[in-house]
A and B are shown apart, each in its own frame.
Chain A
Amino acid sequence: MNRFLAFLQKEFHHIFRDPRTLVILFGIPIAQLLLFGFVLTNEVRNVKIGVVDHSKDYLSIRMTQRLLSSGFFQLAATPSSESEYEGLFRSGKVKEIIVFEPDFGRRIMKEGKAGIQLIADASEPNAAQLIVNYTTAIANGFVKDEFGQNQKLPGVDIKVRMLFNEDMRDAYNFIPGLIAVILMLISAMMTAITITREKETGTMEILLASPLKPIQIILGKVVPYMILSIVNALVVLLLGYFVFEVPVVGSLALLLGEILLFIFLALSLGILISTFVDNQVTALAMSGFVLMLPSILLSGFIFPVKNMPVPLQILSNVIPPRWFIEINRTVMLKGGGLGAIWPNTLILLGMSVLFIFISIRKFKIRLQ
């Protein structure tokens, strides 16, 4: 145990004495987050909308007023038939059309549930998502205010339709994906690099010649990065919450548990890479090409998986972040519980066990 603690201490010395490591560890995630976040964020103000009220009752009119008085929206059209929608969008007269279903107020009161359809111009996907998010938030807020004292809150069933770009990405979906990418970067890449660094400086030779067991060496290298990765994940979550107002709708404990699992997976992948390569440059390249690019491109982080060509879709199955991003989105945005994500969890667990198994088999107690 003493040996292990000494190892940990040494590892933290390495990390905190190397400004470059620190920059990679904390600078890059925060920079990425802010960069992506702000690039993707558009301000919502006086957005022109159309309202189609098939109900015209007290609640639908009140909700329309609430939307229009928020300052975010401005009434630009009241189309009477669906055939006009596309024209309105194409001419740029409106960015969103809100459709209240018939009997909106009555169904809310009686059935505790009623529907609104939001149709948005997704040719500017980020803006569209943002507009929809605002609308949703205001609609939900309205319902809460009206029925807040009631024990059972009625739900407004909001159906969103994105015109022109049905699958879209945005800052909301972006945070869950970014957590995956950052954890992959920090955990896997840094682990791979730190282990190969010992090979390169020749200290691995001394460690191997010492009574330390391989598992002690591996754990000693990995635990510090595990701790730092957790800190990083929390930083991203907090920044997402405070700067971009991305909430965690589902269980925070579940989310953290899943994050921990993914960190474990990424670390085992890092160890695996380090057993193949002998120098830091190769480790960096391997992590870059084998981990980062697929994590960004094939995981559904930027491009939706279901829009990819079939071969890439199949390939995406072996990309761990693909499963993790789904988990994140489900838990963070949709509030789904373990019931919804257990298959993904199982897949991640399986992958981790496999990587660790191969690493331990491959880790050499000798040189060459």
Chain B
Amino acid sequence: MIEVKDLHKQYGDIVALDKISLSVGKGELFGLIGPDGAGKTSLMRILMSLLLPNGGKATMSGLDVVADYKKIRLITGYMPGRFSLYPDLTVEENLKFFATVFGTTIEENYYLIKDIYQQIEPFKTRRAGKLSGGMKQKLALSCALIHKPEILILDEPTTGVDAVSRKEFWEMLKRLNNMGITILVSTPYMDEASLCDRIALIQQGSLMSVATPKEMTGSFPEDLWAVRTRKIYDTSKFLEKLPSVISVNSFGQVLHLVTQKGRHTSGSVQKFLSDQGELEISVTPMEATIEDVFILLMNHHNHRQ
């Protein structure tokens, strides 16, 4: 559905996209995971035919993003990064406006947005600027869906949104996905990655890895340990001196320790710490999260540079 080949984008000297290639299948819920400035927005804007690439090629549903931009705009729904509705128009007026712009009516495709729109319908005479963050998000999604697009492109729809609204939003995406809409969504929140069919980890304009979340966490190439301690800061300082350590990162009240494959057992780590005088500590092997993968790849990436 979305094919990207050697896509390159540069702003002056700054490389936003470094010859990336990517393929999203029909009906997939594809996540683009990476921090701000990684190149997510540039990629999406090129796909939406809003930016011209400096090199490479991209097609959406077989349509070239440069040559066929008019057709692309009819079959895609787009939700840009920042809130982009008219704050001085009411909820209903916004929706109606976008329906008309795309040559349709609210009624025609109401079934598609029903679940989402119903939640904000009680406030339909309220100005969009006065909605809470979660409600704005729902309205923006309704507006992007109103013309029944084949492909939905969402640029960081959950940034700055609280954890509850984020969960709800992802549930809505899943339902839309089940209706057959191909979805490309970007997010800086690593924990949202597991909700996608496939994900790409993007950092500094390059794709570090593309796979299903399971494949990605399952093929973690090093050993990963969950270290529970009372003194996170002190313990992490000690662990940085552990032989064949790769990284120590805190995840809430737990330290994630990455060591080279096969060099340690939970016993050997525990012994190292108790030798340093750290006693009340538990070390257990754990399965990697997307964030662990991201950090590991990012470290590799930085080392190569």
Contacts and interface: CB of A to CB of B under 8 A. Distances in A.
A2 interface: yes
A18 interface: yes
Interface in A148-184: none
Contact of A210 (B73, B87, B88, B93): B73
Interface in B73-119: 73-74, 76, 78, 80-89, 93, 96-98, 100-103
B139 interface: no
A189 to B, nearest CB: 19
B51 A366 contact: yes
B142 interface: no
Size bracket of the B interface: 20 to 34
B69 interface: yes
A83 interface: no
B295 interface: no
A35 to B, nearest CB: 30
A6 B103 contact: no
| A interface secondary structure, majority | helix
Contacts of B69: 365-366
B50 A208 contact: yes
A133 interface: no
A245 B102 CA distance: 51
Interface residues of A, number: 26
A65 interface: no
B110 to A, nearest CB: 18
A3 B103 contact: yes
Contacts of B101: 3, 6-7, 207, 210-212
Contacts of B81: 202
A262 to B, nearest CB: 30
A366 B102 contact: no
A201 B88 CA distance: 11
Contacts of B127: 17
Nearest to B70: A211
A226 to B, nearest CB: 20
Interface string B26-54: 00000000000000000001001111100
Interface of B: 45, 48-52, 69-70, 73-74, 76, 78, 80-89, 93, 96-98, 100-103, 127, 143
Given A13-B88, A210-B102, 4 more contacts: A14-B86, A205-B80, A206-B80, A206-B85
12 contacts: A2-B100, A5-B100, A13-B86, A18-B88, A201-B87, A202-B83, A203-B85, A206-B80, A206-B85, A206-B143, A209-B50, A212-B101
